[in-house]
């Protein structure tokens, strides 16, 4: 009788643990993080709305670039200014940083030691900073080859679009440093967890924007 | 008295299974995205196709990679609350209307304004 009862309890707990209740986009913290999990629904949905409006801004920057693409005004065009090698490495850096942020999210969700979470976040930050450094180097090479934003419509469109993404990545890096500071000062409380959830969405979103930048701008420009 | 310990262990096992599933989601996402990145870069590097089919291939692979990122990194799928997917689909339709509309109108204008 008693063992029957325990079996039922076991079954109930299993069901409770197995049943993931998804209430917001991105990796859900789950019932283990009761406070942050319930707060997250409205907070993360609001952030998701922001990301979608940001996507519209990027979309319009892409449309502007496409409109101005043929207006090179006898200054250097895509073939003279774009180099596939650095762009390929930058793509891998950003993709890997998305993966390492995913590992950080898992470390947070499954309550691994905080040091492991911080480690993954630091790797992500380094990858983001190296990406920015390489991108700045690309821009410098473009300037040296006569590709200044004032030269032509094409270059204005380019420098309206690609550095806009770079600025977002820079904002993401600064935000990441702020989150590391919050972890150091407050530990992993609900506020910090919610911040990390939103930053994860932001980071993955920027990687999606980059897919379109390397495809539409660089690959199509060199095809 | 041993039963509660058994209970806790099996609950931990369930949590481990969930963790493994979440981990595999990121692994799949990373692997698929890597493949979908390598292919178009290789095609462009070695100019393996004529220009038009190459552009179409790049576009299709980019769209597939976007879906992969949404599915495996942002965990957006039909299991979620429907509003989230609706928000993304609505934003996507707005994007398509505005981007395609802008390109269409401006290309048409350029064509009509070019002196012959």
| Chain A nearest CA to B61, separation (Å) | 9
Residues of B in contact with A28 (CB under 8 A): 75
Flag whether A177 is in a domain: yes
Instruction: Give B-chain residues touching A109 at CB under 8 angstroms.
Output: 19, 22
CA dihedral A9, B15, A203, B103 (to 10 degrees): -70
Nearest to A219 among B44, B70, B75 (CB): B44
**How many Å is the Cα radius of gyration of chain A?**
22
Residue B82 CB: number of other CB atoms within 10 A? 8
Give the position of tokens 């917001």. Answer: A24
In this structure, what CATH number is given to the domain that contains residue A162?
A: 1.20.120.80
Q: Residue B51: list chain A partners with CB under 8 A.
A: 223
Other CB atoms within 10 Å distance of the CB of residue B17: 12
- Three-state SS for chain B is CCHHHHHHHHHHHHHHHHHHHHHHHHHHHHHHHHHHHHHHHHHHHCCCCCHHHHHHHHHHHHHHHHHHHHHHHCCCCCCCCHHHHHHHHHHHHHHHHHHHHHHHHHHHHHHHHCCC
Distance (Å) from the C-alpha of residue A156 to the closest C-alpha of chain B?
16
For residue A29, the model assigns a pLDDT of: 78
Contacts of A16 (CB under 8 A, 6+ apart): A31
Domain that holds residue A198: 48-222
The total number of residues shown for chain A amounts to 223
Rounded distance, CA A167 to CA B55, Å?
28
Nearest to A211 among B14, B66, B80 (CB): B66
Question: What pTM does this model have?
Answer: 0.87
Closest residue in chain B to residue A108, using alpha carbons only: B19
Spatial neighbors of B85 by CB under 8 A, at least 6 apart, are B76, B77, B78
* Averaged pLDDT score across all residues of chain A: 90
Query: Closest to B99 (Cβ–Cβ): which among A18, A63, A70?
Result: A63
Tokens of A55: 């996507």
> Alpha-carbon torsion A12, A14, A15, A21, what sign?
positive
B chain contacts of residue A22, beta-carbon cutoff 8 Å: 75, 79-81
Residue A213 pLDDT exceeds 90 = yes
Q: What is the pLDDT of residue B1?
A: 46
For chain B, domain boundaries: 1-75, 81-116
Counting the structural domains of chain A, the total is 1
pLDDT tier, A6 (very low <50, low <70, confident <90, very high otherwise): low
What's the CA gap between A54 and A205, in Å, rounded? 10
Does any domain span residue A29? Answer: no
From the CA of B116, how many Å to the nearest CA of chain A?
17
Residues of chain B with pLDDT under 50: 1-2
> Chain A contacts of B61, Cβ < 8 Å?
215
CB-nearest to A212 from B4, B15, B62 is: B62
A205 pLDDT higher than 80: yes
pLDDT, residue B65, reads 97
User: Using the beta-carbon criterion (under 8 Å), do B58 and A219 form an inter-chain contact?
Assistant: yes
Whether residues A67 and B106 touch (CB distance < 8 A) is answered with yes
Q: Whose structure tokens read 């095809």?
A: A223
CB B36 within 8 A of CB B64: yes
Please report the pLDDT score of residue B59 as a whole number.
Answer: 96
Contact A95 B37 (CB under 8 A): yes
Name the phi and psi angles at A200, rounded to 5. Answer: -60, -45
Name the residue facing B73 among A70, A204, A212 (closest C-beta): A204
Residue A90: CB atoms within 10 Å: 22
Cα A124 from Cα A100, distance rounded (Å): 6
B40 touches A44 (CB < 8 A): no
- pLDDT value for A95: 97
pLDDT tens, position by position, A157-186: 999 999 999 999 999 999 999 999 999 999
Residue pLDDT, tens place only, A43-58: 888 898 999 999 999 9
How much is the CA Rg of chain B, to the nearest whole Å? Answer: 23
Pick the residue from chain A with its C-alpha nearest to B38. A88
With vertex at residue A200, the alpha carbon angle to CA A195 and CA A204, rounded to the nearest 5 degrees, is 150
Q: Most B CBs within 10 Å: which of A6, A83, A98, as the mutation test of the B interface? A: A98
Residues of A in contact with B45 (CB under 8 A): 84
Within a domain: residue A135? yes
pLDDT at A13: 55
The answer to the question of residue A187 being in a domain is: yes
Residue A11 in this model has a pLDDT that exceeds 60: no
Three-state secondary structure call for residue A213: helix
């Amino acid at each position: 009788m008693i063992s029957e009862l325990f079996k039922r309890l076991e079954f109930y707990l299993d069901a409770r643990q197995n049943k993931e209740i998804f209430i917001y986009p991105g990796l859900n913290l789950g019932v283990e993080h009761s406070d942050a999990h319930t707060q997250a629904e409205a907070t993360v949905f609001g952030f998701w709305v922001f990301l979608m409006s940001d996507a519209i801004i990027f979309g319009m920057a892409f449309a502007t670039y496409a409109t101005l693409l043929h207006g090179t005004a006898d200054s250097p065009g895509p073939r003279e200014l774009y180099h596939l090698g650095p762009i390929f490495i930058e793509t891998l850096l950003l993709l890997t940083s998305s993966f390492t942020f995913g590992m950080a999210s898992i470390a947070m969700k499954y309550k691994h030691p905080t040091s492991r979470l911080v480690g993954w976040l630091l790797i992500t930050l380094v990858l983001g900073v190296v990406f920015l450094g390489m991108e700045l180097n690309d821009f410098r090479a473009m300037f040296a080859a006569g590709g200044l934003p004032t030269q032509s419509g094409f270059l204005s469109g380019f420098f309206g679009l690609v550095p806009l993404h770079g600025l977002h990545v820079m904002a993401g890096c600064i935000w990441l440093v702020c989150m590391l500071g919050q972890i150091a000062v407050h530990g992993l409380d609900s506020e910090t967890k919610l911040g990390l959830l939103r930053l994860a969405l932001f980071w993955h979103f920027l990687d999606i924007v980059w897919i379109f930048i390397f495809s539409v701008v660089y690959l199509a420009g060199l095809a | 008295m041993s039963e509660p310990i058994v209970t806790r262990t099996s609950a931990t096992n369930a949590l481990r299974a969930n963790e493994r599933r979440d981990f595999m989601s990121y692994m799949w996402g990373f692997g698929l995205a890597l493949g979908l990145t390598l292919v178009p870069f290789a095609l462009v590097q070695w100019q393996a196709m004529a220009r038009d089919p190459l552009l179409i291939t790049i576009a299709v692979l980019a769209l597939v990679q976007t879906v992969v990122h949404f599915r495996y990194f942002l965990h957006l799928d039909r299991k979620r609350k429907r509003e989230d997917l609706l928000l993304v689909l609505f934003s996507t339709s707005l994007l398509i209307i505005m981007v395609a509309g802008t390109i269409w109108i401006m290309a048409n204008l350029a064509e009509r304004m070019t002196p012959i």
